[in-house]
Every structure is written in C-alpha cells, then in structure tokens.
Amino acid sequence: MNKPNLISILIIEDNPGDQLLLRENLLGTNLLIDEIVLTETLAEGMEHLRQQNFAVIFLDLFLSDSGGLDTFLQVIKVNSRIPVIIYSGLSDTQMAIEAITAGAQDFMIKDDHSAGLLEKTVLYAIERKRIADALEESNKKFDLISKVTHDMVWDWNLVTNEVYRNPEGWKKIFGSAERKVMNKKEDFSSRIHPDDLERVNLTLDNAFNSPGQQLYESEFRLVRDDNSIAYIEDRGFIVRDEKAKAIRLTGASHDITDRKNKEEELKKLSLIAKETINGVVFRDKDQKITWVNNAFTTIYGYELPEILGKTINSFLHGPETNRDAAEAVKQQLSKAETFVYEVINYTKTGNKLLVKVHVQPILNDRGDYTQSFTLITDITSQRRLEEEVEEEKIKKQKEITHAVFAAQENERSAIGRELHDNINQILGATKLYIDMAKKDNPNRNSYLATSSEYTLIAIEEIRKLSKTLITPLINENGLVNSVKDIAEDIMLVLPINIIITTDDFDEIALGNKFKLDIFRIVQEQINNTLKHAQAEKILIAFKENDGQLLVSVSDDGIGFDTTKKKSGVGFTNIRSRAELYNGIMQLASEVGKGTQLCLTFNTKDLLNNSEAKRG
C-alpha cells in the first residue's frame, strides 16, 4: 500500500476539546500531514470543501447546525470523492453504521483511538475510497460500453450457480423493459430455443470437462419477450481451480440476428443465382467479370476461370453484334439506373444467340457505382418462334385475302350467270313480245300483256338479286330478324324448311360488326346447303351457355366425307370471319347424314373485342 504524501485533513467537530485531542493524535502519527483544518459547524466545513481539496474528513454527525445522517449526506453532496470517517461517541454508533452503509469509509469512537489505530484508519479510508472510485469509474465505462454495443456481459459462478448479466445488454437482446438483473442460470437457459438447448448444454459440458480448454464458444437461438427469434453468439473464458476444475465462466452474448438474417438472404439469393436458368453475371465498376453462375456456362460454354477479369464484349461479341452496344452499356451504367437491351452474342463454339440483358447497377452507401448485377436470357428460340408465328399470320392473311378475292369472283360469276341465264332471258323474251306488238298484229294487246308480265318477273328477280348483295340493316333489324328475312324469302321460292331457334340468346350487347359477320356466315352456309346438300330442312340455332355463344347451321342433306374433300373457299371464308373474334369453327359431316357447322365464341372476348364492338 502506497502512503499518500503531504495530506490535508478536515475536522468538522463542534466540541473544541474533541477537536484538539484528535488534532494532537493525528500529529503524533507517521502520517505526512500538510495541514489540518478545524471547523465547528457544517456550514463552515462545507465552505472549506468548496474551496480546498482534502485527503480525508473526520465528521461528527451531530453539530450545532445539523444532526444525524443528513449531516453526512450534505457533505458528500458537496464532494463525494473525499473519504469520510465518522467521528462519534458511543451513543452515536448505530447512526455511524448507517452512514457507512450510505457511503462513509469508516468510523471511530471518540476517546478510543491510539496513534497506530488512527494512522491505519486514515490510510485504509483513503485506500478504500481510491478503490471504490476506481471501481465506480470502471463501472461507468462498462455501462457506457454496454450502451453502445449489442453485447450482454455475464459472469457465471459455477460453484454457487449464480450468474451476473448486465441489465442493459439483457434489455437489448430480449427487448425487455427495465428490469432487475437476472442472476439465475435458468433465467437465460429457459429462453434458449428448444431445438438448440440440448446442443448448447452439451457444448458447455464438453468445455467444462476438458481440463485444457479455456475458451468457450457457441451459437444458438433465443426467444425474445415478443416471441421473435434472436441469434446469439456466446464467447467466454473458463476459470479453473488448482485441480483444473471449472469454477467460473466469464464472457459475453453477442446478438448476431442481423448478420444471420443477411446470411440467410444471401443463401437464398445465391441459390437463386446458381439454380436459375438465366445467366447471372457480376461485374466490377470497370465491367470486368467477378462471378458467373452455372446457367451462364450452360448458355455460352465458358467456365468462370476462363473469363474471370474479362469484359463481356471481349469474348461474347461477334460479326453481327451491334458495335455500339458496349459504349451504350457504359453510358447507361454511368447513370446508375437499371436498363434492358437486346444484343447478339456468340457462344464458345461460335453459335449465334439473341439475348435479352437486364443490368442492375449496385451502389455503395455513398451512392457510388461499385459493381453491377446482370441477368441474361436466351431469347433466340422465342424470337424464332415469334418470327414463325408472324410468318404464319402473314401466310394466313394471304390465304384469307385469296379466299375473299375468290369469293368475290365467285359472287361476280354467280351474279353474271343469274343475269345471263335468268334475267337476260326474261328481258330478251320481253323485248321479243314488244317488237311483235309494234307490228300491226291482231294479237297486239296479248303481246303487250305478256311483255308486261315478263317485265314484272324481271323486276322481281333483280330485286331478289339485289337483296342478296345489299348489306342488311343489322342495327335496325337485328341479327336474328335479318336471318329470318332471308329464310322466309328462300322458303317462298324453294321447297325447303328453315327453322330458327334462339335459346337464351340476347344480341343486345353484341356489336353490329360482329352481328353482320355472323349474318354473312349463316348466309354463306345456307347458300352452300342449297347448292350442294339436296336438303329438305335447315336448322339454324343461336344459344348462350356458360359464357359462350354458340351458332350452328345444320341440314339433313346428302353430307360428304370430310377426310377426302378439302374445305372450299366458302368454309375458308367462314373460318377467317370467325377467327377475327377468336372464334372456333367446327365442321361435322357424314355421307347420307347431313352436315353441321358450329361456331363457338367467348362472350367476354366479344364484349372486349374492338372488332366486335365496331358498328
């Protein structure tokens, strides 16, 4: 123990005799005393404390201006760092003990102190105060460190099974409100996740039972106050007795939840990057490759060691690659924005690929571009399929156009035949009778009457022909009524029965363009039946069922073999009209059993289709 050098002592004692006795005894010790200040009141003593530093204070608790424990409390309120020795009489012993409990260093009974005892008491008081202050300072630093870290420091006495854990660390790990220190082993172990508890206990037992082991480490899960999971890393130092038996474990619990969550996230991302069918490339800020996944190797044939540190354009670009692509990528990356582009690449074996590239710049905390994440999708087959579909569309459109032109030519031919074979003959006969009537012929009136009849017949035939050519007033008459009109006209001149049914069919919501096309389809199929089927009955049905519109035209004619006879222009025209509205055409026929044409449309498609709405 180091002796303090040149100490100053303050005596606060209202009895002059006790003052002088204490002073003389102090001077009789081996203490190196610089000054002894004597005061009789608390106020006077506190004033000295404010102005001067002392090594120790002798304090009588009962003064003229203060009494009891409050006297001590007033002193330490002014300066708590100076050790205080309670200087009391025999009757004040209990109060002196209370003062020691409150922070005083020692107490001495008046008239009962030798020089040796006095010297030892002063030196011990100074030393104890120094140790207490050092411990307090250490605790302050410890508490400060605890506040700025996520660690919970603990000290486990394996002999008593008591554990100290700092409350601040406990609060941070468990999310608890302010609480007392949990000093039992079970307070902590009961929070360990059930799936980890056995492993943690086994790790501890192995550490304790291995005499040469000093360090203990373990990772496990804890259940917080809100039932969420915390990941904990425990590290400790094992203290052993002379027989190498573990008697103490001191360490800290570190909350690694954030790290574990990030590791799990990285595992998921890594799994996605490795297992995805898309090529994944990581590049540094100079666009040099730092990592590629297996799919990249599958697509291009290059292994990572072959291309590590290279730029993509140095080995994937080829004759048909856009030469401006590399510069465009560089400019886009400088903007630190996500972008997408398509480019032609070449595999290790020289195969040409069309790829879609998604580039995501990765920024640091300051917002600076540091690397990029690139997702590569091989769209070669997709683009080829799109081109084939487009070619098929063009081919189909040509077929439709050809069918339309053929239908127009057939229609013109039919009109020509009708004019030549029917109307022209009637008009020719009319002219013949008129010419005969012009002559002075006794049958003149009869000839004129006959020519008049032929003229009326010609007019009626022209009217019928015109009616087949003029677009019906669908928006006025409606689809069903327009079909009924042509059915009635046909049944007036031909020995055939046409029946029309409309089960649950409501055409109000349908567009006029769609209804006109359906009318033309029905008209086309009726004409086909009249020309080829030798039918006695035609059944036309309109029906709505489960969100579908069904239109069918059936006959009881001679039918035909659909496997041998190709669809003519009429059926091609019908199919092309139906496909305008995503409709499906089905044709069923069998020799001797008639023919059925069935069209199916999705009602929702019709309501959304601009072609169907257009009037």
Question: For strand 497-503 and strand 537-545, is the pairing parallel, antiparallel, or unpaired?
Answer: parallel
Domains 7-142 and 472-609 share a fold: no
Least confident range from 356-370, 411-425, 497-511: namely 411-425
**Do residues 36 and 9 touch, judged by C-beta distance below 8 A?**
yes
- Most confident region among 142-156, 231-245, 432-446 by mean pLDDT: 231-245
Per residue in 78-93, pLDDT (tens digit) is 988 899 998 887 667 7
Residue 2 has pLDDT above 60, yes or no: no
Give the pLDDT score at 101: 83
Confidence of residue 469 (pLDDT cuts 50, 70, 90): low
Per residue in 344-402, pLDDT (tens digit) is 999 999 999 999 998 888 888 788 888 888 889 999 888 888 888 888 887 877 776 66
What ranges in 56-164 are assigned the alpha helix state H?
Answer: 69-78, 93-102, 115-148
Least confident range from 169-178, 338-347, 543-552: namely 169-178
Q: Specify the length of the chain in residues.
A: 615
User: CA distances (Å), 101 to each of 93, 95, 105, 106, 233, in order?
Assistant: 13, 10, 9, 10, 39
> Which CATH topology does 276-469 take?
Beta-Lactamase (3.30.450)
Q: Does domain 7-142 have CATH number 3.40.190.10?
A: no
Q: Does domain 150-261 have CATH number 3.30.450.20?
A: yes
Q: How many C-beta neighbours within 10 Å does residue 222 have? A: 20
Least confident range from 163-167, 271-275, 314-318: namely 271-275
Question: For strand 229-240 and strand 215-223, is the pairing parallel, antiparallel, or unpaired?
Answer: antiparallel
Q: Which residue has the tokens 């001149």?
A: 493
Helix pair angle (424-438, 444-469), 10° resolution: 160
Long-range contacts of 310-319 (CB under 8 A, 24+ apart): 311/283, 311/286, 311/287, 312/281, 312/283, 312/287, 316/345, 316/346, 317/345, 317/346, 318/344, 318/345, 318/346, 318/350, 318/352
Per residue in 157-199, pLDDT (tens digit) is 888 888 888 777 788 888 775 555 556 777 788 889 999 999 9
Cα three-residue angle 76-81-87, rounded to 5 degrees: 55
Least confident range from 59-63, 105-109, 346-350, 518-522: namely 105-109
Q: How many C-beta neighbours within 10 Å does residue 554 have? A: 20
> Which CATH topology does 472-609 take?
Heat Shock Protein 90 (3.30.565)
Domain ranges for the chain, please list them.
7-142, 150-261, 276-469, 472-609
